[in-house]
């Protein structure tokens, strides 16, 4: 789930600039990173995000799974997203 | 302490740097000539009373006292006094802004194309700027420019070009004719580099100088978000909030082709950058659409 303290600016080349208003740090994301960010809306599970990335980009599914999880870890580490516990 | 003016000989000029104006007083013809060369081509002073007095005077012992408002100091020679005064003026111009942010970068023109070359201090912006001037580009500043939050126009702040001896020898090797530019290499101004009579335009090419110098220069498209983040790191505290500053920078990069430059030998680097700038933004930033993290 995206944090509310993050200001996101989508750019014409499909990259995205995230600005954390608390830490005052900017994070540039490339197109695939921006795609994943957009899916962090609380409505998609991690597996659904990996599926969506795999259907959009041509790469080994295993690699995409690994990279997507690693990328989300980075977003969590910088307090840009927070993990969401699924509601039963 | 106030600089003592030689009342019988001190004369004054009024200069404007966009909407900031100041009165320069000195009995030194060299100082007045140098200040005119730097500031006079950058527009007319705003109407009304100048905001501050700037002074350079000779003190007993041959040292020079410079003063801007309440700030001031002593310098061993006129060049050093001019540098100190000009640096103080640059800071004051930046602080006087209400709707413009300052970005650390060189502003280089090729016709209607304005390239902003950003990078940390010591990245080589000044040396590269002069090498680009030799290749027919107009350099309006080698150091800092304002960006208007409303129009996104880039407003170069006129500065003396500061070069160390290494830069001078690199430029000599590149064929830069110092004698044609000025009498002394420590006093090069945008007027010497064809960049004094510039138009106010948004930047259409943004180049960020990054990384250590390599054997061969490399310029490659990077994302607009990357350049916006780099520019943010080169933007001082200004009149806008951080969020407003980010919004201005993202708007600015939205209309520009964005590149990362790793410098190499000066001649090859300048040739490469000149090609990009002279090509304008026709070869728009290539977007890497393949999967990448």
Cβ contacts of B202 on chain A, cutoff 8 Å: none
- C-alpha distance from residue B203 to each of A71, A81, B223, B270 (Å): 32, 33, 16, 19
Give me the domain span that covers residue A52. 6-77
Interfacial B residues in 224-243 facing A (CB < 8 Å): 224-226, 228-229, 232-233, 242-243
Domains and their CATH numbers in chain B: 11-95 (no CATH), 100-278 (3.40.50)
Q: Which residues contact B169 (CB under 8 A, 6 or more apart)?
A: none
Q: Is residue A88 part of a domain?
A: no
Whether A60 maps to a domain, the answer reads: yes
Interfacial B residues in 111-150 facing A (CB < 8 Å): none
CB-CB under 8 Å, A30 with B225: yes
- Please indicate, yes or no, if residue A30 is contained in any of the structural domains: yes
Return the pLDDT at A86: 60
Q: Which residues of A touch B253 (CB under 8 A)?
A: 11
Q: What average pLDDT does the structure give for chain B?
A: 87
CB contact under 8 A, A32 and B293: yes
Average pLDDT over residues B145-162: 94
DSSP code for B124 = S
CA atoms of B183 and B174, how far apart (whole Å) = 19
Distance CA B70, CA B52 (A): 9
pLDDT at B145: 94
- The pLDDT tens digits of the residues spanning A40-59 come to 999 999 999 999 999 999 88
pTM here is 0.88
Nearest CA in chain B to A26: B229
Q: To the nearest whole number, what is the mean pLDDT of chain A?
A: 93
In a domain, A72, yes or no: yes
Bridging pattern class, strands B113-118 and B100-110 = antiparallel
Assess B250–A contact: CB distance below 8 Å, yes or no: yes
Best of B204, B221, B224, B225 to disrupt the A interface (most A CBs within 10 Å) is B225
**Each residue's pLDDT tens digit, B43-64:** 777 777 888 999 999 988 889 9
For A28-39, how does the pLDDT look when each residue is reduced to its tens digit (9 = 90+)?
999 999 999 999
Show Cβ contacts of residue A7 under 8 Å, excluding neighbours closer than 6 positions. Answer: A18, A19, A20, A21, B243, B246
Which range is least confidently modeled, A44-53, B116-125, B274-283? B274-283
Residue A23 scores a pLDDT above 70: yes
pLDDT in the model for residue B47: 73
Listing DSSP states for B271-288 in one string gives HHHHHHHHTTTSS-----
Which chain B residues are within 8 Å of A9, Cβ to Cβ?
225, 228, 246-247, 250
Provide the number of CB pairs (under 8 Å) joining chain A to chain B: 79
Closest by CA to A21, choosing from B236, B255, B247, B146, is: B247
What pLDDT shows up at residue B143? 93
A55 Cβ neighbours under 8 A, 6+ residues apart: none
The answer on pLDDT for B227 being more than 80 is yes
Confidence of residue B282 (pLDDT cuts 50, 70, 90): very low
In sequence order, the β-bridge partners of residue B147 are B101, B154
Residues of chain B contacting residue A35, judged by C-beta atoms under 8 Å apart: none
Residue B197 pLDDT grade (very low, low, confident, very high; cuts 50, 70, 90): low
For residue A32, what is the domain's CATH number? Answer: 1.10.10
Question: Which of A4, A13, A56 should be substituted to probe chain B, the one whose Cβ sees the most B Cβ atoms within 10 Å?
Answer: A13
Has residue A13 been placed in a domain? yes
Of B131, B114, B95, nearest in space to B237 by CA? B95
Number of structural domains in chain A: 1
- For chain B, the farthest-separated pair of C-alpha atoms sits apart, in whole angstroms, at 73
- Percentage of chain A modeled with pLDDT above 90: 86
The β-bridge partners of B108 are B115, B139
Q: Name the β-bridge partners of B141.
A: B107
Check CB contact of B166 with chain A, cutoff 8 Å. no
Is A84 within a domain?
Answer: no
Cα–Cα dist B15/B196, whole Å: 14
For residue A16, being part of any structural domain is answered with yes
CA distance A34 to chain B (A): 10
- The average pLDDT across A64-80 equals 96
ipTM: 0.92
């Amino acid at each position: 789930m995206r944090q509310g303290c993050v200001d996101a600016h989508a750019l014409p080349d499909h990259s995205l600039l995230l600005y954390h208003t608390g830490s005052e740090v900017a994070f540039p994301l490339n197109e695939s990173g921006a795609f994943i960010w957009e899916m962090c809306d609380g409505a998609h599970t991690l597996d659904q995000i990996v599926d969506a990335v795999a259907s959009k980009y041509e790469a080994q599914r295993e690699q995409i799974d690994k990279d997507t999880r690693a990328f989300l870890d980075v977003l969590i580490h910088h307090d840009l997203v927070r993990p969401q516990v699924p509601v039963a | 302490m106030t600089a003592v003016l030689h009342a019988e000989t001190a004369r004054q000029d009024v200069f404007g740097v966009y909407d900031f104006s100041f009165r320069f007083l000195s009995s030194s013809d060299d100082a007045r000539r140098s200040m005119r060369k730097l500031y006079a081509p950058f527009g007319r002073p705003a109407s009304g009373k100048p905001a501050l007095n700037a002074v350079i005077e000779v003190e007993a012992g041959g040292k020079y006292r410079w003063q801007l408002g309440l700030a001031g100091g002593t310098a061993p020679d006129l060049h050093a006094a001019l540098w100190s005064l000009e640096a103080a003026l640059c800071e004051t111009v930046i602080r006087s802004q209400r709707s413009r942010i300052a970005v650390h970068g060189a502003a280089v023109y090729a016709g209607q194309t304005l390239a902003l070359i950003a990078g940390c201090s010591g990245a080589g912006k000044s040396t590269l700027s002069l090498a680009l001037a030799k290749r027919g580009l107009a350099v309006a500043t080698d150091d800092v420019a304002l960006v208007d939050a409303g129009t996104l126009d880039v407003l170069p702040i006129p500065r003396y070009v500061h070069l160390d001896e290494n830069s001078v020898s690199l430029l000599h090797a590149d064929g830069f004719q110092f004698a044609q530019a000025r009498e002394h290499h420590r006093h090069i101004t945008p007027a010497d580099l064809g960049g004094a009579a510039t138009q106010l335009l948004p930047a259409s090419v943004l180049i960020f100088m990054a990384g250590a110098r390599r054997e061969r220069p490399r310029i490659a498209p990077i994302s607009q978000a990357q350049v916006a983040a780099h520019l943010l790191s080169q933007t001082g505290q200004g009149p806008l909030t951080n969020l407003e500053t980010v919004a201005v920078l993202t708007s600015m990069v939205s209309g520009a082709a964005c590149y990362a430059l790793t410098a190499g030998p000066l001649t090859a680097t300048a040739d490469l950058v000149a090609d990009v700038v002279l090509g304008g933004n026709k070869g728009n930033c290539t977007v890497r659409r393949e999967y990448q993290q």
